[in-house]
Amino acid sequence: MKFGVIKETYDGEARVALTPDSAERIVKLGHTCVVEAGAGAAADISDDDYRNAGVEVLNSAAEVFAAADVIGKVRPPSEAEVDQLREGQTLISFFYPVQNEDLMKRAAERGATLVAMDMVPRISRAQKMDALSSMANIAGYRAVIEAANNFGRFMTGQVTAAGKVPPAKILVVGAGVAGLAAIGAATSLGAVTYAFDVRPEVAEQVESMGAEFVYLDFEEEQQDGAATGGYASVSSPEFREAQLAKFRELAPDMDIVITTALIPNREAPELWTPDMVAAMKPGSVIVDLAAEKGGNCKLTVMDEKIVTDNGVTIVGYTDFPSRMAKQSSNLYATNIRHFLTDLTPEKDGQIVHDMEDDVIRGATITHEGGVTFPPPPPKIQ
């Protein structure tokens, strides 16, 4: 099989789906790799780096589409890219099939197979292919770096000859993959870190990372906001009120707030209200990782950084993984390489698209001329 990676066409996207290291490992599966010239440039990977890893560099995306059996990319394909797919060809990328239904149908009509990295089931066996988690991990880390960069003081407390500096206080709202990564980055920079989640089972993880879990004044049995599969459900109005009351109490004392709260297939819950922003000290920073889904803070402007009248910076960027393109390309290309490993059971260069395999089935959204989304629930958890 020939695996081909094209340059991302989405404005400002710096990631790439193949690295020299992943290429070497894909070759060990009996495959060959081709890449579009310049595809890795924004992630600090030169064409020569690819050539040195045995990858053939082609001049255009059209040449890659013509040469490859399986195409790899990061962002969902454009219409023009889908229209270059041919019968029997496979494309692996993030896809978000619910948002991109027409594109999915178009690919099915062309007889192409689509593998959506965002649909890889979140079961233990598939963790190595879980690109949502790898990207959320980077976003959480980078959110803290972005906050620190916009905050005029140290993160850690210091006592020096020039005076005593208090540590920054950081509140992380939502302790999923991105939230836990943010907690890790915040505590390692020396900030006093607090975290809240509607799923009480994460309290232990939060505390083991050196942060303090924020408990609400609420009946314990009513506090559980967990739904199935480790995700959150919508909170009851009473619970939400208790949560907002706690945040109102914390707002004047927090220097940095990182919000990451999401509920699958819904707009992000609004948790950091304008009066909380107004209660924060000048110079405080909010980084809203839920900006793409409408934001956890009402004042967030997607893809922008704003400063409020009372001097609070609110960052609504949605491209944190792309801002660390070398790191994220590395992890994403590794996720894809693991998927290709599962598609090559004999390591003989032959792809076996086994629709009986939970992980392959879950991620495959079109196959052999039909739409195969949504998949049945995985058999093994």
Residues of this chain that interact with ligand NAD (CB under 6 A) are 122-124, 127, 130, 133, 136, 173-179, 196-199, 230-232, 235, 260-264, 269, 271
The residues, any chain, with a CB within 8 Å of residue 75's CB and separated by 6 or more, are 8, 9, 10, 13, 93, 94
From the candidates 22, 84, 93, 133, give the one annotated as an active-site residue.
133
60 is catalytic: no
Indicate the residue among 230 and 369 with the shorter CB distance to ligand NAD: 230
Indicate the residue among 124 and 160 with the shorter CB distance to ligand NAD: 124
Torsion angles phi and psi, residue 285, rounded to 5: -135, 140
* Nearest-CB residue for ligand NAD: 176
The residues, any chain, with a CB within 8 Å of residue 361's CB and separated by 6 or more, are 355, 372, 375, 376
Q: Count of residues for the chain? A: 381
Indicate the residue among 262 and 340 with the shorter CB distance to ligand NAD: 262
Indicate the residue among 26 and 216 with the shorter CB distance to ligand NAD: 216
The minimum distance between CB 146 and ligand NAD, in angstroms, equals: 18
CA angle in degrees (0–180, nearest 5) for 133-70-337: 35
Of residues 146, 186, 120, the one with CA closest to residue 286: 146
From the candidates 25, 110, 122, 240, give the one annotated as an active-site residue.
122
The minimum distance between CB 117 and ligand NAD, in angstroms, equals: 13
Indicate the residue among 18 and 242 with the shorter CB distance to ligand NAD: 242
From the candidates 21, 25, 188, 231, give the one annotated as an active-site residue.
231
Torsion angles phi and psi, residue 206, rounded to 5: -60, -45
| CA distances in angstroms from 135 to 60, 127, 139, listed in the order given | 27, 13, 6
Q: How far apart are CA 119 and CA 137, in angstroms?
A: 17
The minimum distance between CB 124 and ligand NAD, in angstroms, equals: 6
332 is catalytic: no
231 is catalytic: yes
Q: How far apart are CA 314 and CA 322, in angstroms?
A: 19
Indicate the residue among 114 and 261 with the shorter CB distance to ligand NAD: 261
Indicate the residue among 35 and 359 with the shorter CB distance to ligand NAD: 359
From the candidates 84, 89, 130, 329, give the one annotated as an active-site residue.
130
Torsion angles phi and psi, residue 309, rounded to 5: -60, -35
Tell me whether the omega of the peptide bond preceding residue 374 falls within 30 degrees of 0, making it cis.
yes
Rg (CA), the chain: 22
358 is catalytic: no
Residue 104: which region, alpha, beta or left (left: phi > 0; alpha: psi -120 to 50)?
alpha
130 is catalytic: yes
Q: Which long-range contacts (CB under 8 A, 24 or more apart) does 161-170 make?
A: 167/191, 167/192, 168/192, 168/255, 168/256, 169/193, 169/194, 169/253, 169/254, 169/255, 169/256, 170/144, 170/194, 170/254, 170/255, 170/256, 170/257, 170/258
From the candidates 46, 78, 127, 158, give the one annotated as an active-site residue.
127
Indicate the residue among 1 and 290 with the shorter CB distance to ligand NAD: 290
The minimum distance between CB 361 and ligand NAD, in angstroms, equals: 16
Residue located via tokens 């196959």: 367
The minimum distance between CB 193 and ligand NAD, in angstroms, equals: 15
The minimum distance between CB 338 and ligand NAD, in angstroms, equals: 13
The minimum distance between CB 378 and ligand NAD, in angstroms, equals: 11
DSSP state of 377: P
Q: How far apart are CA 156 and CA 188, in angstroms?
A: 9
The minimum distance between CB 130 and ligand NAD, in angstroms, equals: 5
Determine how many CB atoms are found less than 10 A away from the CB of residue 59. 10
Q: List the catalytic residues.
A: 122, 127, 130, 133, 231
